[in-house]
Amino acid sequence: MSEFPLARDVEYEITRMLRRSRARSMRTVADVHPDLELGNYLLLLAVDDAAEPNTDGVRATDLAESFAVHKSTVSRGLATLEQLGLVERVPDPTDGRARLVRLTDEAVSRVEHVRKRRHEQLAAVLEDWQPDDLTTLARLLDQLNNALDQG
For 46-104, how does the pLDDT look when each residue is reduced to its tens digit (9 = 90+)? Answer: 999 987 776 789 999 999 998 889 999 999 999 999 999 999 999 998 888 889 999 99
24-39 mean pLDDT: 92
Query: Mean pLDDT, the chain, as a whole number?
Result: 92
Q: Is 5-150 a CATH 1.10.10.10 domain?
A: yes
Confidence class for position 1, pLDDT limits 50, 70, 90: very low
Domain edges within the chain: 5-150
Between the CA of residue 24 and those of 2, 18, 27, 61, 122, what are the distances in Å?
36, 10, 5, 28, 11
The helix/strand/coil state of 110 is helix
pTM (two decimals): 0.82
